[in-house]
Amino acid sequence: MTDTAPAAQATADWTTPTGLGTSAARIAARFAQVLTAAAPAATDAAAADTAAAIAASADAPVHDPAYALRPWGDGSASPLYVPVVERTDDALVEVVEDLLVGWARDCGFRGGELDQLRGAGFGRLAVLTHTDTDDPEHLLIAAKLNAAWWAADDLYADDSGMGATPTALPPKLALAMAAMDPVPDVGEFTAPLEEALRSDPVLVALRSGVEHLTRYGTPAQVQRACYSTFAMFVSWNTYGAWRYTGEYPPAWEYLAARQHDSFYTSMTLVDAVGGYEVPANLYYEPRVRRAAIQAGTASVVVNDLLSVAKDAADETPVCNMVLQIAADRQCSVREATEVTVELHNRLVRDFEAGHRELSALPSPELHRFLRGLRAWMGGGFEWHNTNPRYRT
């Protein structure tokens, strides 16, 4: 799932989230506004905004203690309505990170790449977001696949300094699909494919990540993760086309693509990591799927919010919900940030309402899955908001 990193990092690496395209002209026109918006607001003003938002929320008919309004970034914008963090466990994080680095070495990553992987914190992401298990091998399902997805995103889709180009992206993603969802043997044509899949550490990581999922999940869970990934790849190709043509989308069109390139893909692993399964016909029931996509989209909007300064300053055209709104409405980035916060909070409240509605269904697996989605949102927010690479 494509995302972004702060301006303080001068060069991109494959573990550093990067953004998707937006008009360079739009960015340049608003870069000064971004710098102004990024400056810390007065403490009393930020506190007053937070207090006002909390007071407004008190008028809501239902308050679930599993959710809270939380400041984010430099505290100058309105708070985000997010699920509370359900677990922090530094000792467990260290175990998962150690195992993850060893796995990445086996995939073919070397030297500084391994240091970057460790610093990226994918083990911590797994521990924060998958709170219903403390089994390191189960947590590695999420840690491995998230690391592999980020590597593909940065090396194939986003970082031109590391060889990513719009024209090379579709063929690389086609091979990525073959790595994740193995195709049948076709005689003499299979050998060169296998050689290609073994020669690229990203493809090795994608294949190995799915193999790890296969050891603990069912065939339906494996294919669910694969085909969510392939839908995400369609969005990546869309961003590549925008970059190549220089024709960038309005906010509504960007968001349509972003909703299939969100943390929903990571959330497809919730029940497999937890050691249970939501039956396919229930998982894809429209209300359940809507709730999962709301959760994934809300989480990726957090990423866009925390990445505005870097995205605006990037020489490469970069897409970001805040910047697209600012360009569409010809408003300041601060104003567009508030619109995006409102969008995020609406998505979370809609998920909360849907969760209450779905609680009437007599399925323990579904109830656990919905709690898992909620935990993922809370942990994902914490991971983004406390990760040094999102600090400007």
Name 67's bridge partners.
Answer: 83
Q: What is the pLDDT of residue 151?
A: 93
Per-residue buried b or exposed e for 63-98, using 16+ beta carbons within 10 Å of the residue's own CB: eeeebbbbbbbeebbbbbbbbbbbbeeeebbebbbe
Query: Is the pLDDT score of 5 beyond 80?
Result: no
Name 319's bridge partners.
Answer: 20
11-21 average pLDDT score? 37
Question: Does 382 fall in a domain?
Answer: yes
Q: Are 233 and 173 in contact (CB under 8 A)?
A: yes
The one-letter amino acid at 214: T
Provide the residue range defining the domain that includes 334: 24-43+64-390
Query: Is the pLDDT score of 19 beyond 70?
Result: no
Element of type H or E holding 263: none
Taking only the tens place, the pLDDT of each residue in 265-295 is 999 999 999 999 999 999 999 999 999 999 9
Domain count along the chain: 1
Question: Does 123 fall in a domain?
Answer: yes
Taking only the tens place, the pLDDT of each residue in 94-112 is 999 999 999 999 999 999 9
State the pTM of this model: 0.85
Q: Are 152 and 176 in contact (CB under 8 A)?
A: yes
Higher pLDDT, 4 or 87: 87
39-52 average pLDDT score? 46
**Any residues with CB less than 8 A from the CB of 91 and at least 6 apart, and which?**
none
Per-residue buried b or exposed e for 203-224, using 16+ beta carbons within 10 Å of the residue's own CB: bbbbbbbbebbeebbeeebbbb
Q: What is the pLDDT of residue 165?
A: 84
Q: Torsion angle, CA of 263/268/270/274, rounded to 10 degrees?
A: -150
305-323 average pLDDT score? 82
> From the CA atom positions of the chain, what is the Rg in Å?
20
Query: Is the pLDDT score of 33 beyond 70?
Result: no
Q: If you write DSSP's letter for every residue of 304-365 in order, what string do you get?
A: HHTTHHHHHH-SS--B-HHHHHHHHHT--HHHHHHHHHHHHHHHHHHHHHHHHHHTTS--HH
Q: Which two tokens stand for residue 20?
A: 């998707």
Question: Does 10 fall in a domain?
Answer: no
Q: Are 144 and 205 in contact (CB under 8 A)?
A: yes
Lowest mean pLDDT among 65-69, 140-144, 255-259, 308-312: 308-312
Distance CA(288)–CA(8), nearest Å, equals 39
Question: Does 252 fall in a domain?
Answer: yes
Question: Does 48 fall in a domain?
Answer: no
Give the helix, strand, coil percentages of the chain, each rounded to 5: 70, 5, 30
Q: Are 391 and 16 in contact (CB under 8 A)?
A: no
Q: What is the pLDDT of residue 30?
A: 43
Distance CA(133)–CA(116), nearest Å, equals 26
Question: Does 263 fall in a domain?
Answer: yes
Q: Are 254 and 324 in contact (CB under 8 A)?
A: yes
Which band of pLDDT confidence, cut at 50, 70 and 90, is reported for residue 313? Answer: confident
The domain that holds 271 is classified in CATH as: 1.10.600.10
Query: CA distances (Å), 57 to each of 63, 221, 298, in order?
Result: 8, 37, 18
Which band of pLDDT confidence, cut at 50, 70 and 90, is reported for residue 174? Answer: very high
Question: Does 19 fall in a domain?
Answer: no
Question: Does 7 fall in a domain?
Answer: no
Mean pLDDT (the chain) is: 86
Query: Is the pLDDT score of 247 beyond 80?
Result: yes
Which band of pLDDT confidence, cut at 50, 70 and 90, is reported for residue 46? Answer: very low
Lowest mean pLDDT among 55-69, 167-181, 272-286, 374-388: 55-69
Q: Are 84 and 70 in contact (CB under 8 A)?
A: no
4-25 average pLDDT score? 36
Most confident of 40-44, 134-138, 320-324: 134-138
Lowest mean pLDDT among 9-18, 51-60, 317-326, 328-337: 9-18
Which band of pLDDT confidence, cut at 50, 70 and 90, is reported for residue 360? Answer: very high
